[in-house]
Every structure is written in C-alpha cells, then in structure tokens.
Amino acid sequence: MTFTHALGTNNYGPAKFIVDGSAANGTHTTIAAALTSSSSGDTIFIRPGTYTENLTLKAGVNLTAYGSDSSANQTGKVIISGTCTFTAIGSVSISGIQLQTNSAALLAVTGSAASVVNLIGCCLNCTNNTGITFSSSSATSGINILNSTGDIGTTGITLVAHSGGGPLYIINSTFLNSGASSTASTVSSSAAGILYSFWSYFQFPWTSSNTGIIQFHYSEIYSGFTNSTGITHGSTGSNCLLIQSAVSSGSGSAISISVNCTLALSLSTIASTNTNAITGAGTLRNAGISFIDTSSLINTTTQTARNFDVGGISFDGGTTVMSTYLTGTFTPTIFGSSGAGTPTYTAQNGYYTQIGNIMHIIAIVALSAITSATGNVSVGGFPATIKNQTNGNPIGPFDFSSAGYTWTAGYTSTMLQGNLNAITGAIIQNGSTKTAALLTIVNTATTFDYNLTYQV
C-alpha cells in the first residue's frame, strides 16, 4: 500500500499551520501563503530554513519557531530574510526566529494605526541595512523586544530608527556590533515616541531629537571600540534619563547634551578618556555619577545637583557619619544690644555653606542710618543656631568702614564673636595691652563685613 502526503495536510497535532520548504513536511511552503490562509488567533509554526520573503503581518496571527528550532542567535535555524511590515490595528508576536535584513529593514511598523509587534527570543541580524523602522504615528502603537539578541554587521547601519508616536521597549536583550558601526540608533519622534531600555546591552551609540524620550534603566551603552559618543541627546522631551546605567565611549565623550535639552543621570557609570566626559550646551541633572576611566570632567552649560541621600558619608567605618551638605543665602541684620533701633539698610547679603555640623557664613551689611539704637553693635540673622558648648564661642574676622566709628584708645582690631545657642553675635575690640571690649553702636552710615565658622 502506498501513502501520499498532500500539501495542506497537518501531521503535527494541534499545529494548524506549518511552514516548511518541502511540501511534504508542512501545510505551506511559504510564510506569506500561510498568512493568507490564517485569521486572527492563529499561530504559524515555521520549520528550520531560510525564508527569503517580504511579509505583511496580519493582526492577531503569530509567527513562531518550534522551541528546539529557536533562532535567538546568529546560527539561524529559522531565518526570515526580508521585511516584516505591520500597519494594521492590533498586535502580533514573532518568537524564536532570526529576522535578517535583505537590503531593507527587517521590521517596519508604519502608517497611523495602533500596531503593536512583540519580538520574543528573536535574533535581529542587521547585515546590510538598519534593522527596524518604527514610524507609526499612533500613540498606542509599539514595539516590544524581549529576551532577544542581535548584531550590526557592517558600518553605516544600526539597530533602529524610531520616529513613531508610541513606545519602544527593549528588555533583557543584547545587541552586538561586529561591523564596528558608529551609526547611532535614533529616537526622533516629534510626538510621544519613547525608548524604554531595561537590563539591556548595546554596542553602538544612541541619538535623541525633537521631543522623543529616551530612558535607560540598568542598561549599558558601549561605543568604546568606535570611540564615538555613546548618547547624543538633542531631545526636548521631558523625563529623559539614565538610572543605574553605564556609558563607555573610549576617547569620545560619553554623553553630549544639546542646548535647551535636559538629561538626568542617577547612580550611573561613565567611562571616557576624552577631556570632557560629559559635554554640551544643555543641562545635566546629576544624582550620582561614577567616573571609572581617566576623565571625570562635566562641562555642560548647566549642571543641576539633585538630592542624593546615602545615609551619610563615613571615613571610619560608620562610627561618624556626615549626612549634610547645604548652601544658600540669609539676610544679615545689625542692631543695638540694649535698644535694637531702626536701621535703614542699603545692602544685606549673606551666604552660607554647611558641611556636616560645620556652618560657614559670609556677610556684608550696609546702612545709611540706624536711629534709636543703644548699647553695643550686634549682628544677627545667622542661618542656624550656634551650638551651646562650654567655651565654644566662635570667633571670626569683622570689618567696618565709617567715619562715625572710632577706635577706643589702645584697641587695634575688631572681631565677631558668636553667641552660644543663638543666631547672633557681638563685635569685640582687641588690643595688645587691653582687655577686650564691645564696640558701641553709632547712628551713622556704615558698611560691615564679616566671616564666621561655627558648629551647629
């Protein structure tokens, strides 16, 4: 008895559609034919082989290799050489397949529909063209790349050109660059397009522009072997950031931030030998950067320090912790110790820096008059209370310029002495053979300058 196998007969159990180059081993010999026969909810299984086809994906129809035939590397058991295009409303998944460029993108999500493509456990082999074109204008379109690998096989190409309106997610994926291409993948959306990278590695640079958003979380950009800038940030989109990520760029600057653009870095690592590790005319929001190569210079036009709380800095194993660093301004005042009086100020400028429990202040106070003031000259308005400790009054230099003040006989200098447990101080005259005396306040035009360092 002779048995024959007709095309379209399925000998693989629940698999409804099977593609194989041999008609004897599947229901279809091309993926395109299987797509034509399928409808939403179907899965097309693809047996090992290279399928040189340009495909129009169908919403709800998934493409997959059998588990043992997965092509999540460049050995390529199941290869689609050509462009997979998706423009319809809905989603499709491609699993375990090597997508390979054939002088055009391997994946194109275009048009204006809410088109979503999931690439799961795939290999994206960019041999002769940039791999992915994502230009759908829909804010609910998207590409999700999960647990995948890829390679850039020659110069002048890259992984992705994203100008669309939706998100591109790259999660737990690795992309190499055997062709040593310095061409950057781009996020150039003028809508709500965004790149989210989580736990992923890229051996090529990235560029942002227009209002596209880039976010790298726990990821690494390595462009060191081409000595090219790892991230060129030219987007005015909000919330562009790197969190616990790394950029290594060799002799190129690791990051360049363009004018009117802002990039935030938090707990990230920069490796560059360029004079300027981070450069550009834009703004860097710095919330913790480690520089691990020879350069640590940041020369962006603006750098904004963000709060970075590590529970204190210790130099003795945690026994003593420095937990405060503050800078700011305060408003210094002058008054009489017995009668405060009414001052008319022409300048009140005070500046402070607090490091740990040490406060340093610099001030200048100018008055045209101080009426009804009695007693001795007192200064006030300090930004923090002086610590109350035995014989701990701080002393600092004090100067005044006024014809109305004269030295008491035998005194040759003045000092500012801070008052314990207060935000004020007194002016003390000193002489080599005299007991210190307080300076009496005078109603006159005067300028006072002083510095004081004290514990808080």
Q: What is the CATH number of the domain that holds 296?
A: 2.160.20
Same-domain pairing of 308 and 333: no
Same-domain pairing of 225 and 368: no
Q: Is residue 338 part of a domain?
A: yes
* Phi, psi dihedrals of residue 69, rounded to the nearest 5°: -105, 15
Q: Is residue 305 part of a domain?
A: yes
Q: Is residue 291 part of a domain?
A: yes
Beta bridge partners of 231: 206, 255
Q: Is residue 286 part of a domain?
A: yes
Same-domain pairing of 145 and 191: yes
Tokens read off for 375? 């007693």
Contact by Cβ (8 Å): 188, 158: no
Same-domain pairing of 275 and 393: no
The confidence score (pLDDT) of residue 6 equals: 45
Q: Is residue 319 part of a domain?
A: no
Q: Is residue 364 part of a domain?
A: yes
Tokens read off for 139? 């804010």
Same-domain pairing of 216 and 151: yes
Same-domain pairing of 370 and 226: no
Query: Domain boundary at 260, 287, 314, which?
Result: 314
Same-domain pairing of 423 and 447: yes
The confidence score (pLDDT) of residue 10 equals: 53
What is the span of the domain harbouring residue 62? 17-314
The confidence score (pLDDT) of residue 250 equals: 97
Same-domain pairing of 299 and 190: yes
Residues 6+ apart with CB under 8 A from 59: 40, 86, 88, 89, 90, 91, 92, 115
Q: Is residue 1 part of a domain?
A: no
Query: Domain boundary at 314, 345, 370, which?
Result: 314
Tokens read off for 95? 């699993």
Tokens read off for 53? 């086809």
d(CA 363, CA 448): 8
DSSP 36: H
Same-domain pairing of 164 and 288: yes
* Count of structural domains within the chain: 2
Report pTM.
0.72
Residues 6+ apart with CB under 8 A from 4: none
Same-domain pairing of 118 and 31: yes
Cβ atoms within 10 Å, residue 14 = 7
DSSP 203: S
The confidence score (pLDDT) of residue 323 equals: 75
Query: Domain boundary at 314, 349, 370, which?
Result: 314
CA nearest 132: which of 121, 143, 140? Answer: 143
State the 10-residue block means of pLDDT for the chain, 456 residues long. Answer: 45 76 93 97 95 98 87 83 98 97 98 97 97 97 97 97 97 97 95 93 97 96 96 94 97 97 96 97 93 94 78 71 86 96 96 94 95 95 96 91 77 90 93 84 93 95
Same-domain pairing of 250 and 363: no
Q: Is residue 24 part of a domain?
A: yes
Same-domain pairing of 239 and 298: yes
The bridge status of strand 325-330 relative to strand 342-355 is antiparallel
